[in-house]
Amino acid sequence: MNEIVYNASLLGVVTGLIALAVAWSLREWISNHPIGVSIPEKTHDRILHNAKLIKDGASTFLNREYKIVAKVSGVILIILCLLGTSGIFLAGGFLVGAFLSALAGASGMSTNVHANYRVTLAAYVGLPYAFKMAFRGGAVTGIMVSSLGLLCVSTTLLIIWRFAPEYIPATLIGLSFGGSLMSIFARIGGGIFTKGADVGADLAGKSIAGLPEDDPRNPAVIADNVGDNVGDCAGMAADLFETYVVTFSATILLTMTLLGENSPWVAAPLLIGIIANISFISIVFFVRLFGKKKGIMSSLYGVIIANIAIAYTGTFFIFDWFTSFSGTSGVFNLYQIMATSGIAFLVTCLLVGITDYYTSHNYKPVKKIASASHGGEHALNILAGHSVGSQSVVPTILVIISAIIVSYMIGGGFSGQENLGLLAIAFTSSAMLSMAGVIVAIDAFGPIVDNAGGIAEMSQVEEKRVRNITDELDAVGNTTKAVTKGYAIGSAGLAALVLFAEYTKSFSDLNISLDNPLVLAGLLLSSVVYLFSGWLIDTVREVAQTIVKEIERQFKNPDVMKGKKEPDYEKTIDIATKASIFGMIKPALLPVVVPILTWFILGPEAVAGLLIGSIILGIPLALYMTISGGAWDNSKKHVEDGNHGGKGSDAHKAVITGDTVGDPFKDTAGPAINPYIKIINLVPLILVTVMAFG
Amino acid sequence: MNEIVYNASLLGVVTGLIALAVAWSLREWISNHPIGVSIPEKTHDRILHNAKLIKDGASTFLNREYKIVAKVSGVILIILCLLGTSGIFLAGGFLVGAFLSALAGASGMSTNVHANYRVTLAAYVGLPYAFKMAFRGGAVTGIMVSSLGLLCVSTTLLIIWRFAPEYIPATLIGLSFGGSLMSIFARIGGGIFTKGADVGADLAGKSIAGLPEDDPRNPAVIADNVGDNVGDCAGMAADLFETYVVTFSATILLTMTLLGENSPWVAAPLLIGIIANISFISIVFFVRLFGKKKGIMSSLYGVIIANIAIAYTGTFFIFDWFTSFSGTSGVFNLYQIMATSGIAFLVTCLLVGITDYYTSHNYKPVKKIASASHGGEHALNILAGHSVGSQSVVPTILVIISAIIVSYMIGGGFSGQENLGLLAIAFTSSAMLSMAGVIVAIDAFGPIVDNAGGIAEMSQVEEKRVRNITDELDAVGNTTKAVTKGYAIGSAGLAALVLFAEYTKSFSDLNISLDNPLVLAGLLLSSVVYLFSGWLIDTVREVAQTIVKEIERQFKNPDVMKGKKEPDYEKTIDIATKASIFGMIKPALLPVVVPILTWFILGPEAVAGLLIGSIILGIPLALYMTISGGAWDNSKKHVEDGNHGGKGSDAHKAVITGDTVGDPFKDTAGPAINPYIKIINLVPLILVTVMAFG
């Protein structure tokens, strides 16, 4: 092992551990706060009571979900172990990857239910304090995701390189696969739970009985808030952890394949991850509302910009040092590295910005949906949202294409250095993923403030001042959840492309030309992603319908209706849990089974078509679904802000329909495509590894 | 020119002319019927009056649409002529193709408005008579489409081969491009008109004023019926004419490229077309309701089966003769030809069958949508329909993949005969398209009986017996329009693949491997199809909203409301016409501009990615949109048949929302993707031709 790589791995482990310590201290800070809050005792009790209900519900779900995943993982572990020596390393990596992905999800969720009611309490003190509380909660999850990711990749290199260097690829692929499999279960299970509960609660609560959102009489209201934690937080954290691990593993593997195993450049991706990790933990304590207007969203955007600025400066210094040690001949010089990182950071900002444009009610698209709903026509609302989602795809894709082409050019791909061109694309992907910490932090901010608002409503907080603060935070939370999705999808696509490059480099004579009918068959077969998304939407609808029935049953008791008796919250949580855990298995195994069948029926050339096809079809579909969902959501908010007749108007009914349709689009099916794409690209790599090493 | 090819071309011209004569005589038969009908004079007058309104509206629209297309075509003609000698042949072909595509559309529409009210009148005599009238109306369009297609390809071969054989490719490509461009305008313009009017009429008529469908007081009711003719009939006829010409031209070109220009096998595709043409005209006079139950749909399916049986037998005899003349060495033997034709006919039946399963109310998917709407939840209806559409994609794609792989295998592609494998795929496509006559006939049956029902309603036909017949026919028309769409999309995909094969064979050293970042960029870029579809949906929504406003304006006049004064039908037709003609230009030019820009910015390798990507993304998207639309439509019919509370129930309101969303999905955006895919594949072929020949 090259000494530089050894040192970089060591530095990765140290940075990861420091970051974990920072996360811990942030969590401690949250535990000891809020301070100086004076709240009427009854309200305080209700807040604690509801927070506990949410916490218990979330824990119950996660326990049951993880048990099922453990069983499935057990079967896969056994199969992997039966595949020979490389299978054992695959299995080892798989175990660690799955465990850490589960840990990232669980810790994110646990921080959320730790922080959510504290934000409600902090709102009694004031907005800046509540904001700080919510941001630090999100930051814990963000740091967990990126530091666990960095830690496991660095540790793998350190350990495996010492004892069995030839099995580094197997271990890294196993690690990625474990992370991905856990993540698809988390995304799907959590996604079905959260939206089944949300749609069920909305339909029964609003449409049938005319209750406002988060009314404590609605039996599904706790399940809805639980869903924010298990879906939007735990699912998302597992997903981005996995993308992080996949991208860095694949970049390291590609570097080893293209430059040789002993190249010092294997350290380069690690350095990119390390510097980004340091830059985020160095600013996290200083984050507060700033600027003249102290806008929440602009403060959060400020955090991204600051993080990028520090990371970019750090990249310059660290690679200035690195290139002087490692030499740049036959690889990249400092300016090429700065260019790929620059592209990555620019792409990060652009993807957030484009998603913001299409989903924020400050711009034309969302306003158009709201105005199409003006006459109360549900169908026009749906058509308008569908059209916004469809039109949002191309700008995002153009950014991704530009990133690919320009990176390839910078690497020298068009000047005869095809391999370095590919490597430059991988470096850009890694630099983009190095921003996962701050992006997850901002994303996880969403479910925390969403819960804080829900708890305030359920606990019947009466102070208008406090409610205004939680409402304002809640509105921003909606946006943060939306804008980070473009980044998650774009980065998933790039990660999968790096995996694909590694797949093709594993063969010496694969005919993956577009005019090979087998490649074509594989490409066409990638339309399976429609089946995947169709299944998920169907399951959410069924869960929602079951919950509606349960709510109607409970509402027959007049005491529940009048608020005299607390509804049976556990029952709805139980229904949603069972249904989502049952419903997640079939779709989660689809991306595992399809490439295996394709491999054995049509061969590795068709598999190549399937892999690229899944990216080509999956990314637009995921973008369409998440962005239309976000736009429908905010067009509802726009009407509720008093436009087109405001709450209770015909327009409001129409935008509620759009919001309900959009819910599983943006929070179940759309984001689940991220791990889907990566699993479908990882499984063939496992087959290749097993066949090469036996 | 090989003598066999010459003779086959001559036979193609003769067959085409005979078929045209048959079409003419069918039309004459319709003109002289119905006979023996006794109808109250007032009703008779109203029927004629309404029929004339529809006819005039349709003619007005088509005139204006064709004027715009003529202008655009003029510009393209000039550009083509400036591109040198081959440009002139391209231009010549373009002119003929565009003209014949327009003619196919216009004659289809003219037959429809000729037959629609006669079916209403014939319903006074009885169902078998009305059925015969409607079928013969559809058959005229079907014969026109396939015979004009056969005629123009055969004539091109005869004439150009004699005078300038080296320009056959340019002429055939021009012919295809002309047909495609006309067809995309027809699909988009007609599609926007028909669904803008339909959605507008539905929303205003049903939701706002509570009028039944086709009520004469609704000012948009004539526009709605006009739409059936200009969209479902003229648009569809132009589309399938174009697919026919593209497939046969591309197969002939590929044969010339792979087997040499003087190979007798250039005649083979023509023979396939000739025999199918003969088989359809040989049975068309014998079609009537048959079987014990005299079911309409089963009789129509019987027509397809009979046609296939005769064509297949004919294929055997004609290729038995042909192979004995032309020799089979280095090409296909009789059994290989029979196998490709067999696959094609099987695929035709399977695509119709699969679409039937997902869109007919006899099966689970549609029933599921209806039952999801049971509680009156619009959102659940939308989610259920979305999910049915998504899940329908994979079975259809599997059929297409199997057709490709098995054809390739039969051609010997897996035994070292790659070129013959490709050619076998092209032969399968041609055999599939040879069925266009009968499929279009059954498709065009739809708008005729739809209109017949509309005219009966508008003309206030009082006899229940008559109304039952028109209603029954109308219900079947819905199904025929739906089931033929799977065929149209599948055949469009295969046609585009043949074009792509021709594109790649035009280069000697194109690196179109999946790991070429330029190919990847092109593949990603194909997500432009989402923009295309998004634009169309948006335009339909806007047109519908404008029409709703106009209807509301007219309804302010109490005389219109009470039925004392005929509403201003022309005004709504005028609005729909202007809006759809204005709205069609931007999307229609998208597939022309995007490949040209890609070619000049990223080069021909990226273009290859774009071409295949457009097929890979376009087919699933088109299937998803048309099938979900059809399923929504029939779930509405299912509720209206008395299920889940029947008409006027909450469930009915929810299924109306789904139907309205599905309208532009299935009749505007979905089918418009067919010509889109082909134009995007033709434009680069033009560039290649121009650059090769100058």
Indicate the residue of B512, B619, B664 with minimum beta-carbon distance to A383. B664
> How many angstroms separate the CA of residue A609 from the nearest CA in chain B?
8
Euclidean distance between CA atoms B386 and B631, whole angstroms: 9
Q: State residue B206's pLDDT score.
A: 65
When the pLDDT of each residue in chain B is averaged and rounded to a whole number, the result is 90
Residues A207, B377: C-beta atoms closer than 8 Å: yes
Q: State residue A604's pLDDT score.
A: 93
Q: State residue A288's pLDDT score.
A: 85
Q: pLDDT digit string (tens) for B98-138?
A: 999 999 989 989 999 999 999 999 999 989 999 999 999 99
In this predicted structure, the answer to whether residue B694 has a pLDDT above a threshold of 60 is: no
Indicate the residue of B207, B384, B425 with minimum beta-carbon distance to A377. B207
Q: pLDDT digit string (tens) for B285-337?
A: 888 887 766 688 889 899 999 999 999 999 999 999 998 877 767 789 999 99
Radius of gyration of chain A (CA): 24
Helix axes A528-555, A650-664, angle to 10 degrees: 130
Closest chain A residue to B382, measured at CA: A661
- Kindly state the average pLDDT of the residues A420-438: 93
Residues B616, A619: C-beta atoms closer than 8 Å: no
Burial class of A412 by CB neighbour count within 10 A (0 to 12, 13 to 18, 19+): middle
- Kindly state the average pLDDT of the residues A641-662: 91
What stretches of B506-568 show up as alpha helix (H) in DSSP? 517-525, 528-555, 558-562
Q: State residue A269's pLDDT score.
A: 94
In this predicted structure, the answer to whether residue B22 has a pLDDT above a threshold of 90 is: yes
Closest chain A residue to B664, measured at CA: A383
* Residue A508, token pair as written in the block: 């010496």
Query: Are B679 and B492 a contacting pair, CB within 8 Å?
Result: no
In this predicted structure, the answer to whether residue A218 has a pLDDT above a threshold of 90 is: no
- Kindly state the average pLDDT of the residues A630-646: 91
- Kindly state the average pLDDT of the residues A321-337: 84
Q: pLDDT digit string (tens) for A582-596?
A: 888 899 999 999 999
ipTM (interface predicted TM): 0.93
Which positions in chain B touch A378 (Cβ < 8 Å)? 378, 657
Q: State residue B319's pLDDT score.
A: 92
Residues A517, B408: C-beta atoms closer than 8 Å: yes
Q: State residue A611's pLDDT score.
A: 95
Closest chain B residue to A669, measured at CA: B387
- Kindly state the average pLDDT of the residues B235-263: 90
Residues B657, A661: C-beta atoms closer than 8 Å: no
How crowded is residue A473: how many other Cβ atoms within 10 Å of its Cβ? 28
Q: State residue A209's pLDDT score.
A: 59
Q: State residue B271's pLDDT score.
A: 94
Indicate the residue of B393, B513, B521 with minimum beta-carbon distance to A512. B513
Closest chain B residue to A504, measured at CA: B515
Indicate the residue of A413, A533, A658 with minimum beta-carbon distance to B517. A413
Q: State residue A241's pLDDT score.
A: 92
Q: What percent of chain A has pLDDT over 70?
A: 98
Residues A523, B375: C-beta atoms closer than 8 Å: no
Query: Are B233 and B687 a contacting pair, CB within 8 Å?
Result: no
Cα–Cα separations (whole angstroms), residue A552 to A220, A546, A653, B175: 11, 10, 20, 63
Does residue B314 sit in helix, strand or coil? helix
Residues A519, B517: C-beta atoms closer than 8 Å: no
Residues A405, B207: C-beta atoms closer than 8 Å: no
How crowded is residue B45: how many other Cβ atoms within 10 Å of its Cβ? 12
Spell out a b/e string for A9-34, using b for 16 or more CB atoms within 10 Å of the CB, else e.
bebbbebbeebbebbeebbeebeebb
Determine the residue among B258, B383, B593, B666 to mutate to test chain A binding: the one whose Cβ has the most chain A Cβ atoms within 10 Å. Answer: B383
Determine the residue among B409, B508, B520 to mutate to test chain A binding: the one whose Cβ has the most chain A Cβ atoms within 10 Å. Answer: B520
Which positions in chain A touch B620 (Cβ < 8 Å)? 527, 530, 617
Q: What is the DSSP-derived secondary structure letter of residue B413?
A: G
pLDDT band, very low/low/confident/very high, at B567 (cuts 50, 70, 90): confident
> How many angstroms separate the CA of residue B138 from the nearest CA in chain A?
32
Euclidean distance between CA atoms A156 and A163, whole angstroms: 11
- Choice between B564 and A652, residue whose per-residue pLDDT is larger: A652
Radius of gyration of chain B (CA): 24
Which positions in chain A touch B664 (Cβ < 8 Å)? 383
Which range is most confident: A124-133, A398-407, A577-586? A398-407
- Kindly state the average pLDDT of the residues A102-114: 90
Determine the residue among A192, A371, A390 to mutate to test chain B binding: the one whose Cβ has the most chain B Cβ atoms within 10 Å. Answer: A390
Residues B661, A386: C-beta atoms closer than 8 Å: yes
Residues B514, A518: C-beta atoms closer than 8 Å: no
In this predicted structure, the answer to whether residue B563 has a pLDDT above a threshold of 60 is: yes
Residues A517, B613: C-beta atoms closer than 8 Å: no
Q: pLDDT digit string (tens) for A144-193?
A: 999 999 999 999 999 998 888 888 888 999 999 999 999 999 889 989 98
Q: Which long-range contacts (CB under 8 A, 24 or more apart) does A12-15 make?
A: A12/A150, A12/A151, A12/A153, A12/A154, A12/A157, A12/A270, A12/A273, A12/A274, A13/A151, A13/A154, A13/A155, A13/A158, A15/A147, A15/A150, A15/A274, A15/A277, A15/A278
Q: State residue A216's pLDDT score.
A: 80
* Residue A511, token pair as written in the block: 């005919």
Q: State residue A293's pLDDT score.
A: 67
Does residue A513 sit in helix, strand or coil? strand
B513: β partners: A513
pLDDT band, very low/low/confident/very high, at A208 (cuts 50, 70, 90): low
In this predicted structure, the answer to whether residue A444 has a pLDDT above a threshold of 70 is: yes
Determine the residue among B527, B615, B617, B627 to mutate to test chain A binding: the one whose Cβ has the most chain A Cβ atoms within 10 Å. Answer: B527
- Non-local CB neighbours of A651 within 8 Å, separated by 6+ positions: A370, A373, A374, A375, A376, A639, A644, A645
Q: State residue B205's pLDDT score.
A: 66
Q: What percent of chain B has pLDDT over 70?
A: 98
Closest chain B residue to A405, measured at CA: B517
Residues A528, B379: C-beta atoms closer than 8 Å: no
In this predicted structure, the answer to whether residue A607 has a pLDDT above a threshold of 60 is: yes
Does residue B375 sit in helix, strand or coil? coil
Q: State residue B693's pLDDT score.
A: 60
Q: State residue A1's pLDDT score.
A: 65
Q: State residue B234's pLDDT score.
A: 84
Q: What percent of chain B has pLDDT over 90?
A: 55
Euclidean distance between CA atoms A478 and A287, whole angstroms: 20
Closest chain A residue to B519, measured at CA: A514
Residues A405, B521: C-beta atoms closer than 8 Å: yes
Residues A515, B378: C-beta atoms closer than 8 Å: no
Residues A528, B387: C-beta atoms closer than 8 Å: no
> How many angstroms separate the CA of residue A689 from the nearest CA in chain B?
19
When the pLDDT of each residue in chain A is averaged and rounded to a whole number, the result is 90
Closest chain B residue to A421, measured at CA: B517
**Worst-scoring range by mean pLDDT, B13-22, B47-56, B305-314, B322-331?**
B322-331
pLDDT band, very low/low/confident/very high, at B691 (cuts 50, 70, 90): confident
Euclidean distance between CA atoms A351 and A498, whole angstroms: 19
- Kindly state the average pLDDT of the residues A411-430: 92
Euclidean distance between CA atoms A623 and A167, whole angstroms: 36
